[in-house]
Amino acid sequence: MSDRNFLTIEKLTLAYGGTVAVKDLDLTIAEGELVALLGPSGCGKTTTMRAIAGLIQPRQGRIVLAGRDITHVRANKREVGLVFQSYALFPHLSVFENVAFGLRLRSVARDELEQRANEAIGLVGLKGFERRLPRELSGGQQQRVALARSVVVRPRLLLLDEPLSNLDARLRLEMRSELQRLQRDLGVTMIYVTHDQSEALALADRVIVMRDGRIAQQGTPADIYERPSSVFVAQFVGFENIFKAGQWPLPDERDIAALAWRPQAVVLGQGPHQGRVLGASYLGDAVEYLIETPGGLVKAQTPASARRFALDETVSLDLPLASAARLAGQ
């Protein structure tokens, strides 16, 4: 039976001098779970990871890992792995020695050390690169070394801080699925930090959206993608049409701050409202229109095979309540 409260963070407050970066953060992660921490740049993701790893001391709060309060345990005794955005490989050591670094510190016997290091190198697909120096590797390969170096010491918890953000788009997709496979094979509990919603949704069992040092929403990828609870989260996951309750075209609904539609949810060519086509961009499989309505601009997307609308044409449109996300707050 896996531990449902494998990592518990209580009322964590982190600050740099006078500026508070993370405020009263509460977080629980189950053993073996892959959690994505999603949020815009500057919202406190890195700061949170550094606190869990022990690189910064919290101003307030507690961090409990596997039943042990590690709030005041030194970083080198925490058994938490951290993969840096910049990889942070040891420039003077070969791939093998980078991976073996943690094992040497643990005085692992020579045979076992070689076997485990080679196994980790194989796991990330770098067999044959053992003797290379980091500067002789591509970004993707360096990332793999960083990963192997972290997992080889079998941390209880593995933190990854935007590990793919320095890679090009294709490599990012490839590494994303490799990460998933790795996590499944090793069963290691993982917190994956990213500012890219598609990465978070694709990878994680659970997504935690952060804003200004606090949690804005958490849930399954489907919860976040389909049922954002606030304007902030809705915007972040691609609801581009957001209208306040009471504002055109909405009735005044109680308990709801706003309604939001994705461009794909807007119906064009029929419906109770009228608008004027301001712009159209061809996206390959779809066409995106910018439409001026009495309530402001609406972004709509229709399949490329559907009827096309000309610039300045007046079109009917509908914003169906059934496909709207109901947002409770800002």
Ligand X SMILES: Nc1ncnc2c1ncn2[C@@H]1O[C@H](COP(=O)(O)OP(=O)(O)O)[C@@H](O)[C@H]1O
Q: Which spans of this chain sit near Mg ion (rule: CB under 5 A)?
A: 46
248 binds, among ligand X, another protein, Mg ion, none (CB under 5 to 8 A by kind): none
Of residues 8, 47, 189, 194, which one binds ligand X by CB under 6 A? 47
Residue with smaller CB distance to another protein, 76 or 270: 76
Report, in Å, the least distance between residue 48 CB and ligand X: 7
Residue with smaller CB distance to another protein, 97 or 196: 97
47 binds, among Mg ion, ligand X, another protein, none (CB under 5 to 8 A by kind): ligand X
Residue with smaller CB distance to ligand X, 49 or 291: 49
In order, the DSSP letters of 81-99 are EEE-TT----TTS-HHHHH
Q: How many CA atoms lie within 13 A of 175 on its CB side?
A: 22
Decide if residue 153 touches another protein (CB under 8 A): yes
**Residue sitting closest to Mg ion (CB):** 46
Of residues 7, 8, 27, 44, which one binds ligand X by CB under 6 A? 44
Report, in Å, the least distance between residue 27 CB and ligand X: 15
Residue with smaller CB distance to another protein, 135 or 254: 135
Report, in Å, the least distance between residue 32 CB and ligand X: 25
Residue with smaller CB distance to Mg ion, 46 or 218: 46
Please say whether the beta carbons of 61 and 27 come within 8 A: no
Decide if residue 45 touches ligand X (CB under 6 A): yes
Q: What six digits make up the tokens of 16?
A: 């740099």
Decide if residue 41 touches ligand X (CB under 6 A): yes
Question: Distance (Å, rounded) from C-alpha 60 to C-alpha 38?
Answer: 23
Residue 180's nearest CA partner among 221, 229, 219 is 221
Report, in Å, the least distance between residue 178 CB and Mg ion: 22
Report, in Å, the least distance between residue 17 CB and Mg ion: 18
Instruction: Please name the residues in contact with 177: beta carbons below 8 A apart, sequence gap of 6 or more.
Output: none
Question: Distance (Å, rounded) from C-alpha 222 to C-alpha 206?
Answer: 9
Question: Distance (Å, rounded) from C-alpha 293 to C-alpha 248?
Answer: 9
Residue with smaller CB distance to another protein, 89 or 216: 89
Question: Distance (Å, rounded) from C-alpha 282 to C-alpha 124?
Answer: 39
Residue with tokens 């079109």: 315
Q: Which one of the spans 44-52, 71-79, 113-121, 265-273 is the region binding ligand X (CB under 6 A)?
A: 44-52
Residues within window 42-101 making contact with another protein, judged by CB under 8 A: 53-55, 75-78, 80-82, 84, 86, 88-92, 101
For 129-151, give one letter per residue: b (16+ CB within 10 A) or e: bbebebeebeebbbbbbbbbbbb
Report, in Å, the least distance between residue 90 CB and another protein: 6
For 192-221, give one letter per residue: b (16+ CB within 10 A) or e: bbbbbbebbbebbebbbbbbebebbbbbeb
Question: Distance (Å, rounded) from C-alpha 24 to C-alpha 213?
Answer: 8
Measured distance between the N- and C-terminal CA atoms of the chain, rounded to whole angstroms? 39
Of residues 19, 57, 107, 270, which one binds ligand X by CB under 6 A? 19
Residue with smaller CB distance to ligand X, 39 or 134: 39
Decide if residue 57 touches ligand X (CB under 6 A): no
247: left (phi over 0), alpha (psi -120 to 50) or beta: beta
Report, in Å, the least distance between residue 45 CB and another protein: 15
Q: What six digits make up the tokens of 218?
A: 């958490």
Site for another protein, rule CB under 8 A: 53-55, 75-78, 80-82, 84, 86, 88-92, 101-102, 105-106, 149-150, 153
